[in-house]
Each structure stands twice: as C-alpha cells, then as structure tokens.
Amino acid sequence: MPLKLILTRHAKSDWGDPMLQDRDRSLNARGRRDAPRIGAWLAAQGHLPGQALVSAATRTRETWMLLSAEFGREVPVTFLDQLYHAEGATLLATLRAAHASAVMIVGHNPGISEAAYRLVSMPPSHGRFIDYPTCATLVCAFAVDTWDQVSWGMGDVVDFVTPHDV
C-alpha cells in the first residue's frame, strides 16, 4: 500500500504585535477562515492523516487545531520544536521516523515549499506551487512500504490546493 504525505503550510498569521516573538504569533482572521476550509477539503477528498507532525509554533498549532476539527475523528498529533522553520532536510528526516501510512506535516516556509518541490517527481501545474502560499497543501503518494525508504523525487502528486481554490 503506498504511503501518503499531506504537507501543509500554516495559515495566514498576524503581524499586529511587534513585541511578540516570531514563534508566538497567532493566526489572523483570514488564517482562522482558511484553515477549516482546507481541513474540510481534505476530509471531502478522503485525504485524512493517521498521524500529524506539527511545528510547536503558535500559528502552526492553531492551524492544526482548526483544520483537524473538520476531520470528524481524532488524529494523533505530535508538536515538534525541530519543525519550527525547519529546512527541507529536517522535514524529510522527521518524516522518515513516522509510523502511520498517511502522515500530515504542518510547518513553515521556506522549508515546506522546499520539501514539497524536492519530494515530488514532477511538480503539479498549479501556478502557486512554487511560492506555496499560506495554508497551501500538497498531497503526494510514495510507492514504498516504510517512511525510512522515502527520498527526494520519489513522490507522485495526488492533489495540491490553496485556500483560494476551495
């Protein structure tokens, strides 16, 4: 059975308080609207994770809570400091330790877009794939048995969506 990865950039965050540390910024109103829309889209398409790996930053935690509320079931989640502004290589190393057949990672750019671009064998034709806007989500499949077998360029795009699309 192929493995499925759902790779989501956090929803739009709030820049209104210049005194907040970057990792403590929360979502703005648009982000709070977009995350549930992406969650509902994932559920409608049958793209539900069995495990979630989420950056420990406030905006990624909020994104996860809002989008996963649309799944209709509980999904085990781990919040990881190492995913805060992680580069693609760190995302891949974290993914290789995953155990569910469908895994969701919620993180930050530029690491999320780098990982998405490098993981797939051929990028989708979607015009926003390269800049990977907030709450953009890639779903890709890997024809391997375990996550530790995944390498760059092995993924087949199943879906790519932005909040503007749904």
Average of pLDDT values for 2-28?
A: 91
The structure tokens listed for 84 are 């805060």
HSE, side-chain direction, 13 A CA sphere, residue 92: 18
Residue range 3-143+156-165, CATH number: 3.40.50.1240
Average of pLDDT values for 101-111?
A: 97
- Residue 19 confidence (pLDDT) above 90: no
pLDDT of 17 reads 78
pLDDT digits (tens, 9 = 90+) for 55-102: 999 999 999 999 999 999 999 999 999 999 999 999 999 999 999 999
pTM of the model: 0.95
Going by pLDDT thresholds of 50, 70 and 90, the confidence category of residue 45 is: very high
Going by pLDDT thresholds of 50, 70 and 90, the confidence category of residue 18 is: confident
Residues 6+ apart with CB under 8 A from 146: 3
pLDDT of 16 reads 79
pLDDT of 67 reads 97
For helices 58-68 and 29-45, the axis angle rounded to 10 degrees is 40
